[in-house]
């Protein structure tokens, strides 16, 4: 199975959708965790600063100075701020020289962005500050950097990125594996249905034994195929039995009429009547024989006699057979062939070509022309039979291969409406295709013989068949 088929399959697309949904959920969970942690830490620092500022505002003078110095000396990371200012906001002591202009002196924590304490670093850092006015109107300023919350966000995003890539790759690989397995099973099912459609009524969908949804569906479809096989076989048996059973009484009637014909040569009217009856019986025999042949073709049992054939020889043989008939109507029979070989049943292909050429000669007017040609296409040999008859209307082209169908131009031409039906059955048996096109005048029947890989190894028509 090609990689393109795997990556464009429904199962792989569904796996990708699941991967995307999982990644979105994964990212949402990470961001929710970060938001909860950041909110908790922000609230904790805010409450701690407000409580500390309120407690110091009620403490003695020496305890305030001692607390400011202790926080400065203990802060090795330089993330806390402590300072004392007079009532005019002039600096007295501490590790911050001025009160931020945007900070209200209300004893509440506010977020303010300041320059880093490092003089070489000019970036702004987020901080929480509390400005508390003391009883003697001096101003106590304490604060803490909340840069760690930003670093926490970076850590969460980094963890998210590190986890997403391997998980996405793993999910894609798993999706591709499951897609390949499912596509393989679907491909086998499609091949089985294709064979069933071509007449292999004993074919059934494979069952993997996993008891999954596809096995359940395959079991139900197999039950349907078994019922279809039974019905089709019964119909074939009914038609075949009718055709076989008709042959015996018809043969008896024909023999009786032939005896009567020999016994009444003196009566010309009776002789002519019996002659017409015998001709009608012969047409009925041809009809039952054609029905049996069509049933044999549609059952697919004739493939055992396939061998390597030279199509040019078949075309010349059929042309030699119909050349006298064409000459009798003044029809020019033209042959243009090349050498081409296919694998098939010689007698059946000869019969198909004979039916097509017979129709071309019958429907072409006197002094018309019929051309049969053999050419090579990319997919295999192509046999074209062109006549100069009245042609086939587009609305009739899909009907001419049905049993007993006869078009409006064939009412005065002898036939039973089974010739093209038999041709279509032979074409399906060989996995060929038959196309009907409009000619310059008349019609063109193109028989496309698809070349098979085992043509070179197939036995020829002259070799014994084992």
pLDDT digits (tens, 9 = 90+) for 272-306: 666 767 666 666 666 666 566 656 655 555 555 67
Q: Which of 445, 418, 451, 443 is nearest to 353 (CA)?
A: 445
Cα–Cα dist 10/215, whole Å: 18
Indicate the pLDDT class of residue 84, thresholds 50, 70 and 90: very high
Of residues 30 and 336, more confidently modeled: 336
Indicate the pLDDT class of residue 47, thresholds 50, 70 and 90: very high
Q: Are 13 and 172 in contact (CB under 8 A)?
A: no
In tens, the pLDDT along 327-340 reads 888 989 898 988 88
Of residues 416 and 463, more confidently modeled: 416
Indicate the pLDDT class of residue 456, thresholds 50, 70 and 90: very low
For the segment 395-410, the average pLDDT, to the nearest whole number, is: 69
Q: Given this model, what pLDDT does residue 125 score? A: 77
Q: Are 374 and 383 in contact (CB under 8 A)?
A: yes
Cα–Cα dist 157/165, whole Å: 13
CA distances for 430 relative to 34, 300, 345, 448, angstroms: 69, 9, 8, 10
Strands 307-310 and 341-344: antiparallel
| Average pLDDT over all residues of the chain | 77
Give the highest mean pLDDT range of 6-10, 33-37, 312-316: 312-316
Q: Print burial letters for 109-120: b (CB count within 10 Å at least 16), e (below 16).
A: bbebebeeeeee
pLDDT at residue 108 tops 90: yes
Rounded to a whole number, what is the distance in angstroms from the first to the last CA of the chain?
A: 35
Per CATH, domain 13-151 is 3.30.70 = no
Q: Is 156 exposed, middle or buried (0-12, 13-18, 19+ CB in 10 A)?
A: middle
Span of 175-189, 222-236, 256-270 with lowest mean pLDDT: 256-270
Helix ranges (DSSP H) in 133-267: 147-197, 213-263
CATH for 304-448 is 3.30.565.10
Per CATH, domain 227-299 is 1.10.730 = no
pLDDT at residue 253 tops 60: yes
Q: Given this model, what pLDDT does residue 209 score? A: 79
Of residues 70 and 123, more confidently modeled: 70
Q: Given this model, what pLDDT does residue 202 score? A: 78
Cα–Cα dist 214/184, whole Å: 12
Indicate the pLDDT class of residue 464, thresholds 50, 70 and 90: very low
In tens, the pLDDT along 53-69 reads 889 888 888 888 888 88
pLDDT at residue 20 tops 70: yes
CA distances for 437 relative to 32, 58, 77, 387, angstroms: 69, 107, 90, 11
Q: Given this model, what pLDDT does residue 304 score? A: 58
Give the highest mean pLDDT range of 165-179, 203-217, 355-369: 355-369
For the segment 319-328, the average pLDDT, to the nearest whole number, is: 88
Q: Given this model, what pLDDT does residue 421 score? A: 81
For the segment 361-382, the average pLDDT, to the nearest whole number, is: 88
Domain segments of the chain: what residues? 13-151, 227-299, 304-448
Indicate the pLDDT class of residue 37, thresholds 50, 70 and 90: confident
In tens, the pLDDT along 139-171 reads 999 988 888 887 777 887 787 777 777 777 777
pTM strictly above 0.85: no
* Residues with Cβ within 8 Å of residue 82, at least 6 apart in sequence: 67, 68, 71, 72, 94, 95, 96, 141, 142, 143
Strands 369-377 and 341-344: unpaired
Q: Given this model, what pLDDT does residue 384 score? A: 92
pLDDT at residue 123 tops 60: no
Q: Given this model, what pLDDT does residue 282 score? A: 66
- Give SS3 for 444: strand
Q: Given this model, what pLDDT does residue 120 score? A: 52
């Amino acid at each position: 199975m090609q990689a393109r088929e795997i990556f464009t399959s429904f199962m792989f697309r569904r796996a990708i959708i699941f991967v995307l949904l999982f990644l979105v959920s994964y990212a949402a969970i990470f961001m929710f965790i970060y938001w909860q942690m950041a909110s908790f830490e922000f609230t904790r620092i805010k409450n701690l600063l407000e409580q500390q500022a309120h407690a110091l505002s009620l403490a003695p003078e020496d305890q305030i100075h001692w607390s400011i110095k202790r926080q400065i000396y203990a802060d090795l990371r330089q993330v806390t701020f402590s300072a004392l200012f007079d009532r005019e906001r002039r600096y007295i002591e501490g590790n911050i020289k001025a009160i931020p202009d945007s900070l209200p002196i209300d004893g509440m924590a506010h977020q303010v962005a300041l320059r880093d304490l490092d003089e070489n670093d000019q970036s702004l850092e987020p901080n929480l500050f509390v400005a508390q006015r003391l009883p003697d109107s001096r101003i106590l300023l304490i604060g803490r950097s909340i840069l760690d919350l930003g670093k926490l966000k970076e850590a969460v995003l980094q963890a998210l990125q590190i986890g997403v890539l391997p998980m996405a790759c793993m999910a894609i690989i798993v999706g591709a594996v499951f897609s390949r397995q499912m596509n393989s099973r679907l491909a086998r099912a499609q091949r089985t249905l294709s064979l069933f459609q071509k007449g292999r009524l004993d074919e059934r969908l494979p069952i993997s034994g996993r008891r999954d949804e596809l096995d359940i569906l395959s079991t139900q479809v197999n039950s349907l195929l078994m019922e279809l096989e039974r019905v089709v076989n019964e119909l074939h048996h009914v038609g075949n039995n009718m055709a076989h059973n008709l042959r015996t009484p018809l043969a008896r009637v024909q023999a009786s009429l032939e005896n009567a014909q020999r016994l009444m040569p003196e009566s010309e009217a009776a002789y002519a009547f019996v002659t017409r009856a015998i001709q009608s019986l012969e047409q009925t025999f041809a009809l039952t024989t054609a029905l049996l042949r069509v049933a044999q073709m549609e059952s697919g049992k004739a493939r055992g006699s396939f061998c390597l054939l030279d199509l040019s020889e078949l075309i010349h043989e059929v042309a030699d057979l119909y050349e006298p008939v064409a000459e009798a109507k003044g029809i020019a029979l033209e042959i243009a062939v090349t050498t081409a070989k296919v694998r098939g049943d010689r007698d059946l292909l000869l019969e198909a070509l004979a039916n097509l050429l017979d129709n071309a000669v019958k429907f072409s007017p006197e002094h018309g022309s019929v051309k049969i040609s053999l050419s090579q296409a990319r997919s295999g040999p192509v046999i074209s039979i062109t006549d100069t008859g009245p042609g086939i209307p587009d609305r009739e082209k899909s009907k001419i291969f049905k049993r007993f169908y006869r078009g409006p131009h064939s009412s005065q031409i002898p036939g039973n409406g089974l010739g093209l039906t038999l041709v279509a059955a032979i074409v399906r048996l060989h996995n060929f295709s038959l196309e009907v096109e409009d000619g310059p005048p008349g019609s063109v029947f193109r028989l496309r013989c698809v070349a098979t890989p085992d043509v070179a190894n197939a036995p020829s028509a002259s070799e014994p068949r084992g």
